[in-house]
Amino acid sequence: LVLANVVEKKSSKYFLNEIEADFIEYACKENGNFDEFEPFYNKKFTVGQLNSIKNSWFDYVNALDFSKSATSVGKFIQTKVEDEVVSIILADGTTDKMTTKEIGDLGESLVISHEKNKLESLGLGHNKHLVQFIPTHLGAGYDVKSMDEMDNQIFIEVKTTLSNHPLTQSRISLTKNEWNAAYTNKDNYYIYRLIITNETRKLLVMNNPVGLVQQEKIKLSAPKGVELIFKPDMLKEVELLA
């Protein structure tokens, strides 16, 4: 909860983060209370004992609409990078609230700057003009178009997270459009996970998630069900014995 910025730790006690009060209220109304922690209240327990409910907690959180979340920009971002490197500079100490969309916009701006700098470092500065932001309403399934070192066009979906502390990433959610784009573009499709803390910025990259699923290197989870699409001859008729 601290990593999610829903709870703040002060000394040895924990308090709800007032910035996220509206989101907490929404979560309780939308999904109800997560009551699997209740057996542990007012008791001594080890972290290992919580493992049995870890997956249930992840399912509860992943079902929430984080576009309703807001967080304090100044708490996380203190940048000293110059204009030509990063296109957005936030003043230290700002207390503006930032919605998930605004966090996403920030991440996309950082990735665009990253891609232009990458091409420059590869001696491909002539391709910088090909780095483009793709508006969400177009439904392309990715946020940024860029180029790789072999002059191939690549398609980048940007996932941005703000956190008090470094995070270990083991889950990424994709929309239907994003998954379709990943399926269409295969090796030319990338997921950029940008993690911003109060001290660091970390960029984690995954290439061709569809290929990784096919190779069984990552697992595909569809908590709300999946739709199978196939040619008619994939169904084999058998005699009905009833």
Model confidence pLDDT, tens digit, residues 133-149 = 988 878 899 999 999 99
The CA radius of gyration of the chain, in Å to the nearest whole number, is 21
- Which structure tokens are listed for 75? 């708490």
Cα 148 to the center of its chain, rounded Å:
22
Residues 6+ apart with CB under 8 A from 72: 19, 95, 96, 97, 98
Q: How many residues does the chain have?
A: 242
Tokens 């940024």 sit at which residue?
Answer: 144
pLDDT digits (tens, 9 = 90+) for 82-106: 333 322 333 333 334 555 566 667 7
pTM of the model: 0.58
